[in-house]
Amino acid sequence: MHWSGEGLIIGVRRHGETGVIAEVMVAGRGRCLGLIRGGRSTKLAATLQAGNTVQVGWSARLEEHLGTFQLELLEARAAALIADRTRLYASQLICEHLHLLPERDPHDRLLGRAVRILDFGGTPHQLAAEVARYELELLEELGFGLDLTSCAATGTTRDLTHVSPKTGRAVSRSAAEPYLDRLFRLPPFLVGGGDPDEAELADAFRLTGYFLDLYVWMPRQLDPPAIRDTFVHLVT
């Protein structure tokens, strides 16, 4: 068995004395793992950095086997990310989220958004807004998407200001009024674009964090990635 493609390195762990197991998001193939013999050598150190884009070749005797990787560096991002703390934390969080995806299940839309975030050149607040949108898309890709298109109570598509923690659906301003202490605020940038301020970013990450915990982390008995709190604190 053999295939090749372009992918994003999202993690590397040691295997044996000299090898590593690399985790790569590959277009059309999803999250794939493979053994790299001699992967702990200084020659490969610069290539095997999370956030780098590589040309990857995978081979194994049977499809269900771990298989081995052959990697060729296409785009090195590690040095630029290390030089910018906000981008570094964002990249680490993006990679942590990609670990949640099922193995060998294609999620090209999410992969494309991840790469755009890694290469994003806007302000820290704009970058944080992209990460919040990415978390919304992650929930959708995992089958737990929120409905922010219309009010759960009235059906209107206008003046949506809150989200119900029970249904994950938007609520309009008038319908939300009696229940403000029970609802999440819906930041305008999540439904209408624009640049958020720090309070709106905090609301966005509070919203996505709640549903990630409810549907993903808690059922899998996982702790939220520590880097997420660090990133959210930095941008808010």
> How far out from the chain centre does Cα 197 lie?
21
Residue type, position 62, single letter: L
- pTM (2 decimals)? 0.94
> How far out from the chain centre does Cα 81 lie?
16
Per-residue tokens: 124: 């820290």
Specify whether the CB–CB gap between 201 and 235 falls below 8 A.
yes
Sign of CA dihedral 23, 27, 51, 209: negative
Where is 85: in which H helix or E strand?
Answer: helix 85-98
- Go through the chain and tell me how many residues it has: 236
Which CATH code is given to the segment(s) 122-235?
Answer: 1.20.1440.120
Separation CA 186–CA 203 (nearest Å):
7
Separation CA 86–CA 13 (nearest Å):
24
Separation CA 229–CA 205 (nearest Å):
10
Per-residue tokens: 118: 């890694």
Q: Which residue has the tokens 């305008």?
A: 188
Neighbours of 115 (CB within 10 A): 18
Residue 233 sits at φ, ψ, to 5 deg, of -60, -40
Residue ranges of the chain that CATH labels 1.20.1440.120: 122-235
pLDDT at 194: 82
137's CB contacts (< 8 A; 6+ apart) are 109, 110, 113
Nearest CA to 186 among 217, 151, 218?
Answer: 151
Nearest CA to 11 among 141, 112, 98?
Answer: 98
Architecture of domain 2-77 in CATH?
A: Beta Barrel (2.40)
Tens of pLDDT along the chain (236 residues) come to: 999 999 999 999 999 889 999 999 999 999 999 999 988 998 898 999 999 999 999 999 888 889 999 999 999 998 899 999 999 999 999 999 999 999 999 999 999 999 999 999 899 999 999 999 999 999 999 999 999 999 999 999 999 999 999 999 999 999 999 999 999 999 999 998 788 999 999 999 999 999 999 999 999 999 999 999 999 999 99
pLDDT at 193: 76
pLDDT at 188: 95
